[in-house]
Every structure is written in C-alpha cells, then in structure tokens.
Chains A and B, each alone.
Chain A
Amino acid sequence: MTYRKLAGAAALLTAATLGLAAPTAAVAAPAQPPCSEASTVRETLPNGTTWQLCWRIHDRAGLVLTDVSVSTKKHPEPVQVLQSIRLAQLNVPYDTGDTEYNDLTTYGFGGYSLETLTGDDCKGGSTRQGTDGSGDPQQRDVLCVSAEASGLAYRLHEQEWDDEANEPKDTYFTKEGHDLVLRSISKVGWYEYVSEYRLHDDGQISARLGATGDLSPGDYSVADNGWPIGKREKDYASMHYHSAFWRVDFNIDGKGGETVEQYDTKMDGRGSQAAKLVTTSKTIAKEASLNKVDRRWWRLVSPTSKNADGHKRSYELVTGADDPYEGHPEMQPDVTFTQANLCDKWATDNVSDPECPLDNYGILDFAKDKQKLTDPVMWVRVGFHHVPRDEDQSPMPLHWQGFDLLPRDFTETNPLAPEGREAVNGQQRN
C-alpha cells in the first residue's frame, strides 16, 4: 500500500474520531466588527487567510489595533486573537546622561506628530484615511495597508512509490507566504518612527517599531559615548537607547481570561547518545515582571477555546534582539503580566489621568500588589542601543525592534497545509 493511501485512511479515521469528540465550533467573530467600515481592515491574502480588525489613531499611542480576528481557507470562521495591541512607551535617553525623552507620554505619536503618508510610504499598498487623533481631529492619509511577500512559507519533498507505474514519485509542496502589513509614521523632532504590525498568513503577528529620519543634531559628545560620523575624528554623534514597550491584550476566540504559562528547558543528564533535556512549565497566576533566560518562553492559553485536536488555543511570545537598559528599574523586565485595569495605560510615566491614582507610575507599580491574573495584559519591552554609524546620514536607514506572537495550537495542523498534506496530524503510523 502506498503512503498516500495510508494517509487517506488515517484521515478518514481521524475525522470519524473527531466527529464524536468535536469541540464546540468556534464562536464566529461578528461579520461586522465593532467599528465603522472606514476603520475596518479586512483583507484576504493569496493563501486564503483573512485578517479583520479595527484601527484608530490615539494622540499618544499612535496606531491602535483592536478586535483582531483571523480565518483561513481551512477554517473559514473568523476566530478572534487580540482585543488590542499598541505601543505603550518609547524611552530615549542619550548615553551622555544629559538628554532623555519619553516620546509617547511627553510628546505623542498621534495628532500633530502623525505624518500624512506620501511618496513611497505606501508603495504597492492602500492608503487609508482616518482621524489623526488630535484634540482638533483632522482627516488625513495616515494608515498604509499592504500585502507583502514573506518568502518561502514551507517546503516539503515527498517521495513515495507509485504502485501502478512501478516507479518512485516525487511531490514538491512549496509555497510563498504573505503578510498583511499595517503601518503609520510619526515624526518626533528629527526622528521618524514607523509603527508596524505584520499579520502573517500562518497566523503569526509581528509588532515592530522602525526608526528613521535623522540623528539628533545637538547630541554630540566624545569617543566613549559617541561615534565619529563626520570627517575624521571630530563629530561624535551620541549613542542612545530606544526602549519601546507594547501593550498586548489577547482575547482568544472572544472568550478572554487567558492563562499565562512559562516554559523552561534544562539539561538533565545524558541519554544513550546525547544530553537529555527536560522541559517544565508553570502557571504565572499572579501579576509579575519576568526576564528571559536561555530557552525560556511564555504563552497565553485560552482556558476554554480548543482546536480540533482538543488542544487549548494559545499564542506564544517570541522575543529576539534586545538591549535592556539598566538606567531605570522599569526597563529591566522583558515582559510584565498585569491584571487589566483602565488606569494602567503607559508602561512608564503613566500618571496623567485625574481619574486614576498618583502613585501608579508604571509596570512595576501595576504588578506590585500581585493581583490574581484572570484578565491578563502583556507588556513587552524591547530595547535597542543605537551606536551611530557613518551611514546614518542621511536620511538614517530604518532600524527595527520588535517581537512576534506565534500561534501555538490555534489550529490542529498548519493552517496553510496544501491538498495532500491536510490529513497529516500526529505520528504517522505506516
């Protein structure tokens, strides 16, 4: 019997088993999201994945995405992923110690600092008009929506024996992926920042902040905290930090109440050929600020929403390049989980709402009373220590910092699985 025939039989069996124990069908995201059509982005990527969300510009946070849902060709019912995602602070201290900005809370990414898109800002995409979020709101071209190729999504060379032709047969499953990209640009003095969200066709979400524009014209220093960017050894442009925070509020399948889990993998002696590793997990049940160690990761798990394998749907935080800033205690944690609270708006420099307490400065205060997490909000910090280089003039080539949210058991198999691989689910017993 060929491999393919076996796989087909397994598929039938799996379907039958699932038919008996099928979890409740996903609650469909409303056909109309809770915002007007002009504030809705609903786009289908070439592989059949549809992302739907509401967007708006906040005078301080800039671009805010809410009610983010995804559906795929295999799973056409939209399932909600995020309640909201936005920037929550951008701290920019110079290494000289003489200048420091909190670009969101002392200046703001929306309103008059939000750039009207022009030129190549949205090449190949669709520029969307909306209010700029200022106190005197203006309708402007502020959001770029585009679909961009993301390279090879998967590749599989399947080899099997063709009984009829009595010869080997090769099948190549190879597919290009795409991202739905949302982008806005804010100008803060000489720096220009790109707020970007990439919604991948496999369910991944990437949040990034890009910095371009120009280096600070006034911040020049000496060799041990600057870099000579003009002729010879004279103009030492100051090194500085960009520490960005994002506020991420999941609402998986519209059910909320996610559980936060931390996973750690450690060496555990030796097997017959190699080191043995053991992975343990624990629930982060109470508010906490946490740090990375090698192989540590976190995920937010729906307590009730399951995929067709009966596994709880979750999203994993995937972090990458990061420079922590020791100058402030609140820049130490890589991630902080807090119980949702309307007074917790900004990761630092939070005190700016007369309805809220005066001593609630930032994430460390939000987490201080270690409340039980029943409605967790995730605050992700990613820092970039910028050592200027000759090439930064001018304009400065974009430098990026950010993180990914990776679906983990959101669907029972690869949501982009091609015909011929759809039945592969679990150990292949042939």
Chain B
Amino acid sequence: MSRYRKWGWGLGIATVTAVTAYGLASWQANAAPAPPTPSAAANAQPRVSDPKPVAEPVSGKGSDGLTTSEVEKARTLALTPELTSGAQNVAGEAGPEYLSAEVDFENAGRQAELYFYDYKTDKLIKQVVDLKTGKLAKSFSAAGMQPPASERESAVALDLLLADPQSADFKEAFQKATGKQFAGKDGLVATAHIYKAKPADKGASQCGKSRCVQLIVKTADGHFINVPGLIIDLSGRKIARLT
C-alpha cells in the first residue's frame, strides 16, 4: 500500500511538470527510462507460492511435527498399567499428568517422546514410543525436572490460588486493573510459568523439587493481572509467597 501511494504522489508531480518537461523529455527520449506505472509498481511485490492446506496425514514424514494420530497412538502406548494405576495427576487422580509430545527423528525412524508428570513421586517421566513398530521403546524418570505446565495445570493453579486467603493480593490487583470487584473466575485465562527457586530466593525453596508456577491472568476484558510474588505449589497444593 505504501509503495502504491508513493507512486501516486510521484505521478502527481509528473503531471504538473509534464507540459514544461515535454520538450526536454523528447530531446532526451533515449536516455530517460519511462517511470513505472502504478499498476506495474503494485505488481512488483514478489510472489511466493501459496499452496492450499492439505488434510493432516495419519503419519508424518522425517522431521515433520507429530500428527494428531501419531500423538494419540503414542499416548495409548506410553500409558503402561503401572503408570495408569501408580502415578497421580495434578488433580490428584490416578494416572500421570500428560504434558507434551515431541518428535525425535535424529535416531533411526520416527519416535514420539512423551512427557508426563507424576505428582505422587514428583518425577518427570519420559516415554519413547517407536511409531513404526508401535512399541514403547524406552522409559526414563527423574526428580527435579520441570518442563512447562499443561493447560490443565494452569487451570488447577488458578483454582488453588483463588481458594487461598493469599489471593487477596490478586483480587486487589484485579480491582485496580478492571475497576470492578472480583466476582469469580469466569472469563479468566491463566498463563503459568514454571517457577524454580534459585539459591538466593526466599519463600518457596521447595520449588524445583516440587512443581510450582507463577500465574499471569488475563481478564475477560483484556487486562493482565500479575502477582509474581505469589507462587502456586502444585505438588503441595498450597500458595507460597516470595520474600
């Protein structure tokens, strides 16, 4: 658009001076290149191809991200009976909390790496599923590892915060930002950042071993409420305050 406008402006000047310039222009006919017309200038925007989206395939190829079907298949294969009965999710129910799925194509073939969190043992679990053979290839687990939170974990964190007396800070920030008294979580969208205590941090030193988050909450009318000093400990189901 800006390009088009510039040419229009240029042509305006050219029109005004066209009569006086005519004699000179005809004399210089061979030397002066013709100015591009507005349409030519507009068309000068280089084009890239614009392929139509295709239906998502069942299986990906090489470095493709995991497809919906591949993730579904891998999740089924990853959930061993031990995990289903032994581990616990963020809501305290049986079965691990599902976090994420990544493709590994650097080894031979395509593998799905699935990450789960077991709130019972505070361990991160990695299940590697070979998509070709349809088998669980490898399992790993370790404490003290905290990848980003799932959407469900963010929602549970918000519930825990609102149920705690320390959410008074949050509610006050809500009123300050929106001009309205806090009347419930309807319309709120929580963004959870994993919080891990650094050696000098005070107030939530268990975080890192425990799974903790800081929340940024967006209100229905677009305001952001941020109380970074309040830490939601999802493992301990409690609120901590950084001092």
Residues from chain A with a CB closer than 8 A to the CB of B159 are none
Is B30 in the interface zone, CB < 8 Å from A? no
Structural contact, A126 and B173, CB atoms closer than 8 A? no
Is B16 in the interface zone, CB < 8 Å from A? no
Is A178 in the interface zone, CB < 8 Å from B? yes
Q: Within the complex, what minimum Cβ distance (angstroms) separates A162 from chain B?
A: 16
Is A95 in the interface zone, CB < 8 Å from B? no
Structural contact, B63 and A67, CB atoms closer than 8 A? yes
The CA-CA distance from A106 to B147 in the complex, in Å, is 6
Structural contact, A135 and B65, CB atoms closer than 8 A? no
Q: Within the complex, what minimum Cβ distance (angstroms) separates B59 from chain A?
A: 9
Residues from chain B with a CB closer than 8 A to the CB of A280 are none
Q: Within the complex, what minimum Cβ distance (angstroms) separates A329 from chain B?
A: 13
Map CB proximity to B onto A190-211 as digits: 1 under 8 Å, 0 otherwise.
Answer: 1000000000000000000000
Task: Given A106-B194, A107-B194, A131-B56, check contact A36 B145 (CB 8 Å).
Answer: no
Task: Given A54-B62, A67-B63, check contact A146 B173 (CB 8 Å).
Answer: no
Is A163 in the interface zone, CB < 8 Å from B? no
Residues from chain A with a CB closer than 8 A to the CB of B216 are 189-190
The CA-CA distance from A38 to B45 in the complex, in Å, is 24
Structural contact, A135 and B99, CB atoms closer than 8 A? yes
Q: Which of B45, B64, B177, B225 contacts A124 (CB 8 A)?
A: B45
Structural contact, B49 and A43, CB atoms closer than 8 A? yes
Would you list which residues of chain B between 7 and 63 have a CB under 8 Å from chain A?
45-51, 53-54, 56-57, 60-63
Residues from chain B with a CB closer than 8 A to the CB of A58 are 65, 102
Q: Tell me which of B79-87, B88-96, B160-168, B226-234 binds A.
A: B226-234
Residues from chain B with a CB closer than 8 A to the CB of A99 are 228
Would you list which residues of chain B between 155 and 210 have a CB under 8 Å from chain A?
173, 177, 191-196
The CA-CA distance from A227 to B121 in the complex, in Å, is 46
Quick one: closest B residue to A65, CB to CB?
B63
Quick one: closest A residue to B140, CB to CB?
A354
The CA-CA distance from A57 to B103 in the complex, in Å, is 10
Structural contact, A188 and B63, CB atoms closer than 8 A? no
Structural contact, B100 and A134, CB atoms closer than 8 A? yes
Interface band, chain B: 35 or more
Structural contact, A36 and B61, CB atoms closer than 8 A? yes
The CA-CA distance from A214 to B191 in the complex, in Å, is 15
Structural contact, B148 and A106, CB atoms closer than 8 A? yes
Is A326 in the interface zone, CB < 8 Å from B? no
Task: Given A56-B103, A137-B71, A358-B144, check contact A218 B173 (CB 8 Å).
Answer: yes
Q: Which of A54, A67, A107, A131 contacts B67 (CB 8 A)?
A: A131
Q: Which of B51, B63, B125 contacts A354 (CB 8 A)?
A: B125
Is B136 in the interface zone, CB < 8 Å from A? no
Is A217 in the interface zone, CB < 8 Å from B? yes
Is A46 in the interface zone, CB < 8 Å from B? yes
Residues from chain B with a CB closer than 8 A to the CB of A189 are 191, 216, 224, 226
Structural contact, B173 and A354, CB atoms closer than 8 A? no
Is B223 in the interface zone, CB < 8 Å from A? yes
Task: Given A36-B64, A135-B71, check contact A216 B148 (CB 8 Å).
Answer: no
Structural contact, A135 and B150, CB atoms closer than 8 A? yes
Is B235 in the interface zone, CB < 8 Å from A? no
Is A352 in the interface zone, CB < 8 Å from B? yes
Q: How many A-B residue pairs have CB under 8 A?
A: 162
Is A242 in the interface zone, CB < 8 Å from B? no
Map CB proximity to B onto A31-75 as digits: 1 under 8 Å, 0 otherwise.
Answer: 001111111001101100000001011111000001100000000
Structural contact, B63 and A54, CB atoms closer than 8 A? yes
Is B101 in the interface zone, CB < 8 Å from A? yes
Structural contact, A190 and B224, CB atoms closer than 8 A? yes
Q: Within the complex, what minimum Cβ distance (angstroms) separates A311 from chain B?
A: 31
Structural contact, A34 and B62, CB atoms closer than 8 A? yes
Structural contact, B50 and A126, CB atoms closer than 8 A? yes
Task: Given A342-B106, A355-B138, check contact A126 B63 (CB 8 Å).
Answer: no
Quick one: closest A residue to B124, CB to CB?
A354
Is A133 in the interface zone, CB < 8 Å from B? yes
Is A130 in the interface zone, CB < 8 Å from B? yes
Residues from chain A with a CB closer than 8 A to the CB of B227 are 218
Q: Within the complex, what minimum Cβ distance (angstroms) separates B178 from chain A?
A: 11
Structural contact, B65 and A106, CB atoms closer than 8 A? no
Residues from chain B with a CB closer than 8 A to the CB of A37 are 51, 54
Task: Given A35-B63, A146-B48, check contact A352 B150 (CB 8 Å).
Answer: no
Structural contact, B61 and A34, CB atoms closer than 8 A? yes
Residues from chain A with a CB closer than 8 A to the CB of B65 are 39, 56-58, 130-131, 133, 137
The CA-CA distance from A197 to B54 in the complex, in Å, is 24
Structural contact, A217 and B48, CB atoms closer than 8 A? no
The CA-CA distance from A294 to B45 in the complex, in Å, is 39
Is A407 in the interface zone, CB < 8 Å from B? no
Is A353 in the interface zone, CB < 8 Å from B? yes
The CA-CA distance from A389 to B226 in the complex, in Å, is 21
The CA-CA distance from A36 to B54 in the complex, in Å, is 11
On A, residues with C-beta under 8 Å from B are: 33-39, 42-43, 45-46, 54, 56-60, 66-67, 98-99, 101, 105-108, 111-113, 124-126, 128-131, 133-137, 139, 145-149, 178, 180, 188-190, 214, 216-219, 342, 349, 351-355, 358
Q: What are 27 A-B interface contacts by the 8 Å CB criterion? A: A35-B64, A36-B64, A38-B53, A39-B60, A46-B46, A58-B65, A58-B102, A60-B147, A66-B63, A105-B148, A106-B148, A112-B151, A113-B191, A130-B65, A131-B65, A131-B66, A134-B100, A145-B48, A147-B48, A216-B226, A217-B224, A217-B226, A218-B228, A352-B124, A353-B126, A353-B145, A355-B128
